[in-house]
Every structure is written in structure tokens, then in C-alpha cells.
Amino acid sequence: MDELFLRDRIAVQTNDFAPDRETLIFLHGLAGSSSAWEEYIPLFERDFNLVFLDLRGHGKSRRYRDSSEYQISRFAQDLEAIFSDLGITEAILIAHSFGCLVAMDYIARHPEKIRKVVFISARFDTRNRLLFHFTSLVHRLLSPLDSRFPPQCARLDYRNYPRKTNYNPRRIYHDIRNTGLAAFLHCSRQALGVDYSREAAELRCPVLFIHGDRDRVFPVRHARKNQRRLQQSRLEIVPGASHVIVLSHVEVLCEKIRDFVHE
């Protein structure tokens, strides 16, 4: 895989592009990075053009001080830069959790560029006024610590952490420590202020929802509600999988994604 830094220092990993192959673009979740998809590379790289993105404020991508830089629309602008800078005219998006909001915003703006989309552990109505204001308060209280605990600006090796739990304190700590407290809270705040339910209901491309039946972050009822809204969609529920299904059920997800892409 080649590592590139595109405009605004957005970090991406790509393989060698071939004109006759489908392009898959992977979007990770909150406080994660493209390393969440590390084990997917050998399973897909021979058959697809691959793009693994570190969302702004995550992994090796640039951190911003202003909360407005973490609006979901800004993430979507970064995604558009990837299409433009890499010469991609059409792609299939594969998004997990927070990345689903980014994918949804992008598709609403550029539906002609998305052939299909896979939403993993998705919820589109994440707006919560109480938590939104609470997150803002927490950031104001903890902002003096930002300089004392700067982000590590790297990618975690998730093989070193438990994979089957919704909430693992050690993994969560290192994710936030790697991302940086400020970026984590800014992203959380933005996610708690949006609702993409209407945009999701208007999707016209084929959609695959994948959800774990033991997801406690976004319980499976949200996936069922999402699927009922869309005629061109299918829901695959994975038994025994939690919210971090992308880490715990790699081969299962790869099989479902590959079947969906080739349909």
C-alpha cells in the first residue's frame, strides 16, 4: 500500500489502481483510523482499487483547533478531494459508525459518484441536545489539558486490544489518546448535532446495512429502522457481533461486502 497526504494534509493509503476494477473507499469510526481496516487489505487488494482514509483529526491526518472544522460537511469535502486528487469518477463507500454520517453527507451532495454503499453499525439520527451541550461543557472544562496531552497522530494496531466488546476501557483510552482530546470532543459534538434520517430515506443507490446483534452503542433496532426506509437496501445481522464488528468479524464482513459488490 502507498501512503499519500492530499490537500489539507489528509492521510490516505491506496494500492495500485487499475482502470478495470471497482474502487472501494473505507471510512472508519470516531477516534479510530484507517488501521481499523488493516486486515481487509490482503482480502481485497487483488480484486479492487482500495482507498483507506484517516478522517480529519484522526490517525495521521491534520488536527484542527476550531470546532467548526469538524462539521460533518468538512469531512465530506475531504472525501471529495480524494475523488478529485486520485481521479476517481465512481466508487463504492464502506463506512463504519461515525464514518456513516460522513458517507451520508457526501452521498447527499454527490449521488452521481456513488455506485453502492455499505453502512456498518450505522445510525443516522444521532442528534441529542443534552449530550451536545454536555460535550461542549466537558471540552471547556478540559481544554487546559489539551496542551499537556497532545495527540499522537499515529494509527493503533488493533490486534493488541479486545475485539468483541462494545466498550473496552484500554482501547477507548488509547483511541482518544491517539486522536487527541480536543479532536475527539469536537467530533463527538458535531455528531450529536446532526440528523441524516431524511437524506437516508432519499438514497437511490443500492445499500447494504451490516449490524451486530450485540451492538450496545447503536442497538440493532436502528439498523432495522434504516432498512425499512429504503427499497433498494438489505440488512445483514451478524450474530455475536458488537459495535466494533469491523475488528471482530473481518472475514464475515469481507464475504458480505464482496457478494454485495458483485450483485
> 161: which DSSP letter?
S
Distance between CA atoms of residues 201 and 106, nearest Å = 15
CA angle 135, 98, 145 (to 5 degrees): 35
3-state secondary structure of 230: coil
pLDDT above 70 as % of the chain: 95
Instruction: Categorise residue 189: left if φ over 0, alpha if ψ from -120 to 50, beta otherwise.
Output: alpha
> 207: which DSSP letter?
E
Global confidence as pTM: 0.94
Tell me which residues of the chain have a pLDDT lower than 50: none
Q: Where are the domains positioned within the chain?
A: 2-262
Three cell numbers written together for 229: 426506509
User: Which of 115, 228, 247 has the alpha carbon at shortest distance from 172?
Assistant: 247
CA 98 to chain centre: 5
pLDDT at 16: 95
Distance between CA atoms of residues 223 and 77, nearest Å = 26
pLDDT at 78: 97
CATH superfamily of 2-262: Alpha/Beta hydrolase fold, catalytic domain (3.40.50.1820)
Phi, psi of 70 (to 5 degrees): -105, 15
43-81, pLDDT tens digit by residue? 999 999 999 999 999 999 999 988 899 999 999 999 999
User: Which of 65, 85, 119 has the alpha carbon at shortest distance from 12?
Assistant: 85
